[in-house]
Structure 1
């Protein structure tokens, strides 16, 4: 399905989110120290993921009613992912369970947004609303460029 042009930048962000899950799994497969992977998760969360969540919450969810089930699910999942990341950063676990959980939850969330939430927006919001969203995203969005110095997933 072709994505509405006003949501394309956010769909591109989703690619980087899926790559985060893949990088976590690659790092664990290569037996990279859990703490090194957590450092990357913290970096990516600050540089890309949390900014993406803010864009969705501030530029899209405001167009939905407070009791909209799609919007409520997106907020619930954003909160869950933020919590998982904060737990990883603050507790610095030695085992991989928290990282695997984050990778799974993040991938499921992105698949939900791409397969259900964005199509819902495209069919529910007026063309004018999508245009406003697109302009706001174009004005505020900074595409993520990978420049993390330690590419543990590639070793």
Structure 2
């Protein structure tokens, strides 16, 4: 999918997230719970949390200046942010999270990225003037996985 150049860093973050989501969705009884826990915490600490901040503190407020953000898809996106944060908190605070918890988080991450890439980002690209998209880009964090 062709993405506006200014949103490419966020799309790279999404690619990294899909890699993590696949790992979590495929986890089974032969997978190390300790390693999954470390991987989720590391992903969240280095990229996931900052990515959500990029969207919530930079991109969506900018979008709200040019479009109505009282859309069900935006509400779904933010609800998923809350749910994903909840899973990460649960994984951090549980002595031995279940494989099902990791599988569910993986499924949610997958659905979330696809919502943003297929629905939200195309709307943002259409609504926000190009010069302001580029200005927003300069404020996004750099993904540890892709370097974008």
Q: TM-score range by the shorter chain?
A: 0.7 to 0.9
Aligned residue for 2:20? Answer: 20
User: Alignment length, in residue pairs?
Assistant: 142
Does 2:105 correspond to 1:95? no
Q: Choose 53-62 or 92-101, whichever is displaced more.
A: 92-101
Q: Which runs of 5+ in 1 are unaligned?
A: 147-155
Map 1:5-154 → 2, pairs under 5 A? 5-26=5-26, 28-29=27-28, 31-65=30-64, 67-69=69-71, 70-137=73-140, 141-145=141-145
- Cα root mean square deviation, aligned: 2.0
Mapped to 2, the partners of 1:87 and 1:104 lie a distance apart of 16
TM-score by length of 1: 0.82
Q: Do the aligned residues in 2 keep the contact of 1:41 with 1:85 (CA within 8 Å)? A: yes
Distance 1:37 1:124 in 2: 39
Report deviation, 1:71.
3.1
How far 1:32 sits from its partner (Å)? 2.1
Change (3 A) 1:145 1:127: closer
Shift of 1:134: 2.1
Relative to 1, partners in 2 of residues 1:94 and 1:81: Cα closer, same or farther, differing over 3 Å?
closer
Aligned equivalents of 1:145, 1:13: Cα separation in 2: 8
- Provide the rounded CA distance (Å) in 2 between the counterparts of 1:68 and 1:130: 20
1:10-32 C-alpha deviation (Å, 9 max, x unpaired): 00010100011122244x24712
Counterparts of 1:99 and 1:62 in 2: how far apart (Å)?
A: 31
If the length of structure 2 is used for normalisation, what is the TM-score?
0.85
SS in 2 for 1:136: coil
Distance 1:145 1:68, change over 3 A: same
